[in-house]
Structure 1
Amino acid sequence: MSPTFQIHYFSTATSYTGKQTEHLPAPLPLVELFPLLESQYPGITEAVLRSCSISVREEYVDVDGEEGREVVIAEGDEVAVIPPVSSG
């Protein structure tokens, strides 16, 4: 079995992908996550990911910053795609 990590989708990300969770190949540099998801779910970057927070190993990460270039998602890691939370 190939090494994988688990990605969890919440709210609009779940609606867009039709999934709450799935396994993707590991290791994967964090900067390659959005292009990979875009290839599987065309339009997801603009519709969902641009406004989402991403966590890797239960820590929020800045995908577009320096941290995004350094983080590598490893086998067994958990990643979450968390859309903005509104209150009211």
Structure 2
Amino acid sequence: MSSTFTIHYFATASQYTSKNTESLPAPLKLSTLFDELETRYPGITAKVLSSCGVSLDGEYVDIEEDKELLIMAGSEVAVIPPVSSG
């Protein structure tokens, strides 16, 4: 099995990356996820990620509070922009 995890992009995150999913190297500390994405997609932190939620294997995580969590090979991460109501 390869040492990667899958990241899913929704709404504005998908538009910004032009992808719905991709594989990233694992393990990766949750605290460095946004840095990794910023390296791949310059400007994404300010324009998209700063207002997004993140889930790890179906559970919402807090990038600050859960920063020591490791995203392991085979995990699934989702970048979820805020849901607007209207």
Give the TM bin, normalised by the shorter chain: over 0.9
What one-letter code is carried by the residue in structure 1 that aligns with 2:70?
V
Q: 2:36 maps to which residue?
A: 36
Per-residue displacement from partner, 1:8-47 (whole Å, max 9, x unpaired)? Answer: 0000000000000000000000001000000000000000
| % same residue | 62
SS in 1 for 2:73: coil
SS in 2 for 1:32: helix
Q: Which runs of 4+ in 1 moved over 2 A?
A: none
Q: Runs of 5+ in structure 1 lacking a partner?
A: none
Measured in 2, the distance between the counterparts of 1:10 and 1:52 equals: 10
Q: 1:81 maps to which residue?
A: 79
Report the TM-score when normalising by structure 1: 0.94
Displacement, 1:64?
A: 1.6
SS in 2 for 1:19: coil
Q: 1:23 maps to which residue?
A: 23
| RMSD after superposition | 1.0
Measured in 1, the distance between the counterparts of 2:62 and 2:43 equals: 21
Report the TM-score when normalising by structure 2: 0.96
Count how many residue pairs are aligned between Structure 1 and Structure 2.
86
What one-letter code is carried by the residue in structure 2 that aligns with 1:84?
P
